[in-house]
Chains A and B, each alone.
Chain A
Amino acid sequence: MNVRNYCKFEILSLPENISFARACVGAFASQLGCTIDEIEEVKLVVSEAVSNCIIHAYENRTNEIITIVISLLDDRTLEIIIEDYGKGIEDIDSVLQPTYSSEPNRMGLGFTFMKSFMDDMEVLSKPGEGTSVQLKRSFLTKDNEAYA
């Protein structure tokens, strides 16, 4: 599938950068002509993924790097890759269970939101090396097939 547009940026693992990251991805994804509701869902997904990097991968250290790659593909598909170089996930299956949380008073909904609002989610992780979350969503509908 051809890449129509592409953007890659890095942020420090500061909580201030979560809103920056979701706003950037939302603005870039809007080139696909999706609705405001759809953009809001994409922003939520990015917020969850970047928060996970800060809280879990880097255990709230603020001087680490998070990489965000956004691709707009030919058939109105959005692909987002969010990568950290933190502690990694030992048991991906258990982390992906709904309401799993390593901390009380967190709802464990991060990955559930990502799975629910995207068509496809893949989590690649190596303990001690980091995690890459790859998310895809197509905005192709019968009405706008002409775009593809």
Chain B
Amino acid sequence: MDVELRQVRNTLIVRVEGELDMLVADKMRSDIDKKMDNNEIKNLILNMEKVSFIDSSGLGVILGRYKKISSKNGRMYIVGARPQVEKILYFSGINKLVSMCRNEQDVINLQGR
């Protein structure tokens, strides 16, 4: 499981790779929170193109980051979820809280509006 963090202006882009279960949920949570707490981050883009599996531990991390971002009046986006991962995101209702986009460019277009 790899987590890559990149900041573009006030947006944090998180690219995750692998299986998002309890083993990696804690590390992902603390990596993102450290970056969010130390920087002027308002929006969060979670790129899930390379995530092959997610369970409720992974969903918990997404929900927690959504709560943090929305408390700063920011927006959160999930990008590129594969069909099997997307199915679980929809099942959990997270798609009603977080904007689902095809790729990072779509988010930039959306933000530009």
Q: Which residues of A contact B (CB under 8 A)?
A: 15-16, 18-19, 37, 40, 43-44, 47-48, 51, 54-55, 105-110, 113, 116
Contact = CB atoms under 8 A, between A and B. Distances in A.
Contact of B55 (A37, A44, A108): A44
B64 A109 contact: no
Nearest to B19: A19
Contacts of A105: 60, 63-64, 67
B104 interface: no
Contacts of A43: 53
Contacts of B57: 51, 106
Interface stretch (B69-77, B84-92, B105-113): B84-92
Interface residues of B, number: 17
B84 A51 contact: no
A107 B56 contact: yes
Contacts of A107: 56, 59-60, 63, 92
Contacts of B22: 15, 18, 51, 54-55
A16 B22 CA distance: 9
Contacts of A55: 22
B60 A48 contact: no
Contacts of A48: 55-56
Interface in B30-81: 53, 55-57, 59-60, 63-64, 67
Contacts of B19: 19
